């Protein structure tokens, strides 16, 4: 595997959406390649950061419940 290949799929790798075989290949490359190991850590931090920042933007649970309830009124 080349670093370019790794770069292309690192997002999906962290997302857990690559096959087990692919994940194993990525792990092997990461073990041998310091750059890609670093890259993975940076991406992981970035993902955690984005997730934290986006969380307050999603509708709070009580609002969702009210919304669902109000939609049911017309039944
Ligand atoms: Zn690499």
The yes-or-no verdict on residue 14 having pLDDT over 70 is yes
Contact assessment for residue 29 and residue 1, using Cβ atoms and an 8 Å cutoff: yes
pLDDT at 56: 66
23-47 pLDDT tens trace: 999 999 999 999 999 999 999 998 8
- For residues 4 and 54, what is the distance between their CA atoms, to the nearest angstrom? 29
- 6 Cα: distance to centroid of ligand 1 (angstroms): 6
- For residues 7 and 9, what is the distance between their CA atoms, to the nearest angstrom? 6
- 67 Cα: distance to centroid of ligand 1 (angstroms): 48
Give, as residue ranges, everything with CB less than 5 Å from ion ligand 1. Answer: 3, 33, 35-36
C-alpha atoms less than 13 angstroms from C-alpha of 37 in its C-beta half-sphere: 8
Q: Where are the chain's structural domains?
A: 3-72
Look up residue 6 and give its two tokens. 């790794």
- 51 Cα: distance to centroid of ligand 1 (angstroms): 26
């Amino acid at each position: 595997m080349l670093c370019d290949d790794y770069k292309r799929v690192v997002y999906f790798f962290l997302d857990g959406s690559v096959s087990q075989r692919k994940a194993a290949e990525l792990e092997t490359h990461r073990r041998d390649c310091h750059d890609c190991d670093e890259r993975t850590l940076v991406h992981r931090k970035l993902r955690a950061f984005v997730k934290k920042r986006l969380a307050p933007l999603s509708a709070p649970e009580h609002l969702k419940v009210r919304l669902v309830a109000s939609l049911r009124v017309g039944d």
